[in-house]
């Protein structure tokens, strides 16, 4: 076995029972912020910088650490219930296809949706655009919307039955900031690059290119984010 195959060097995120995320394998940690239009519409993401982390770091999952994004064991004082209820079945078993699309197949898995807002603007939505994808410009805009969906709830393929196309994203964890009408708030942890994620019982979740993990403690689909942080916002 090579050095890079050793368990301590393998890139992996493990959900600790009623506790934090244990990060192994020297996964880079960065901060990213939503870029929004003058109307508050999410457009894309910008990287703010790198976050220094020691190897084998732990990230807060309960939402109450005093040294976020890192865990400070506050979950022990709170009696945090981090029970994992997210489905471990493949997303292909849950995806629904938007009707009317041509030259492209746009799909959504609502069990992964965090309502991040990249799928619509004040003029149109991904559902409406799917009916006009015979237009090259509309198709390109729809693809851009899909690729900016942080949770991977939205995907696309060129033809029915073909594998989803995923943009090439780095293996990293992003501590995100969302921009709302009331100002910036803490968003989920955005995991990219097909990093394996294990439940606390060792059962693996499906490895995907885009995953959003709850770090507010309120999700009803732990460890995945379901958008609950917007009901309990942590102001930045």
Q: Is residue 174 located within the same domain as residue 73? A: yes
The answer on 72 and 179 residing in a single domain is yes
Per-residue pLDDT at 1 exceeds 80 = no
Mark whether 83 and 99 lie in a shared domain.
Answer: no
User: In this structure, are 206 and 172 located in the same domain?
Assistant: yes
Taking the C-alpha atoms of residue 101 and residue 20, their distance in angstroms, rounded to an integer, is 41
pLDDT at residue number 102: 85
pLDDT at residue number 100: 87
* Cβ-Cβ contacts under 8 Å for 118 (sequence gap 6 or more): 42, 43, 145, 148, 149, 150, 154
Contact criterion met (CB below 8 Å) for 203 and 197: no
For tokens 């079945």, what's the residue?
89
Q: Do 95 and 69 reside in the same domain of the chain?
A: no
- The reported pLDDT for the residue numbered 7 is 57
> Looking at the structure, do residues 176 and 143 belong to the same domain, yes or no?
no
Does the structure show a pLDDT above 90 at 158?
yes
| Tokens (6 digits) for 180 | 């709302």
pTM value? 0.94
Residues 72 and 133 in one domain: no
- The number of beta carbons lying within 10 Å of the beta carbon of residue 152 is 23
Range of the domain at 153: 91-157
Q: What is the pLDDT of residue 61?
A: 98
Summarize pLDDT for 102-133 with one digit per residue, the tens. Answer: 899 999 999 999 999 999 999 999 999 999 99
pLDDT number for residue 6: 57
The mean pLDDT value for 89-94 works out to 94
Cα 142 to the chain's mean position, in Å?
19
Does residue 8 have a pLDDT over 80?
Answer: no
Q: Are 99 and 156 in contact (CB under 8 A)?
A: no
Does residue 69 sit within a domain? yes
- 35, 137: one domain: no
Q: Are residues 79 and 95 in the same domain?
A: no
Helix, strand, coil distribution of the chain in percent, nearest 5: 15, 30, 55
Q: What is the pLDDT of residues 176-227, one digit of tens each?
A: 999 999 999 999 999 999 999 999 999 999 999 999 999 999 999 999 999 9
Q: In terms of domains, do 15 and 55 share one?
A: yes
How many distinct structural domains can be found in the chain?
A: 2
Confidence of residue 236 (pLDDT cuts 50, 70, 90): confident
Task: Give start and end residues of each alpha helix (H) in the chain.
Answer: 74-78, 126-129, 136-147
Q: How far is it, in rounded angstroms, from Cα 32 to Cα 174?
A: 6
Which one of 118, 139, 157 terminates a domain?
A: 157
Q: Could you tell me if 27 and 67 lie in one domain?
A: yes
């Amino acid at each position: 076995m090579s050095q890079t195959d050793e368990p301590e060097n393998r890139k992996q995120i493990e959900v600790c029972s009623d506790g934090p995320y244990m990060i192994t394998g020297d996964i880079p940690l960065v901060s990213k912020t939503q870029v929004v239009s003058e109307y508050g519409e999410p457009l894309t993401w910008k990287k703010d910088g790198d976050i220094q982390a020691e190897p084998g770091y732990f990230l807060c999952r309960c939402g109450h650490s005093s040294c976020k994004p890192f865990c400070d064991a506050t979950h022990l004082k709170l009696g945090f219930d981090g029970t994992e209820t997210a489905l471990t079945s493949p997303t292909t078993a849950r995806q629904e296809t938007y009707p009317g699309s041509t030259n492209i197949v746009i799909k959504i898995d609502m069990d992964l949706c965090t309502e991040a807002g990249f799928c619509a603007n004040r003029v149109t939505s991904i559902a409406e655009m799917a009916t006009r994808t015979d237009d090259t410009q509309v198709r390109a805009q729809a693809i851009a919307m899909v690729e900016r969906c942080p949770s991977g709830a939205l995907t696309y393929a060129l033809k029915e039955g073909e594998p989803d196309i995923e943009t090439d994203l780095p293996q990293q964890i992003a501590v995100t900031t969302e921009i709302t009408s009331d100002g910036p708030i803490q968003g989920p942890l955005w995991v990219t690059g097909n990093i394996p994620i294990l439940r606390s019982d060792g059962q693996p979740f499906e490895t995907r290119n885009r995953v959003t993990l709850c770090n507010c403690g309120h999700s009803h689909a732990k460890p995945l984010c379901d958008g609950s942080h917007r009901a309990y916002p942590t102001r930045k």
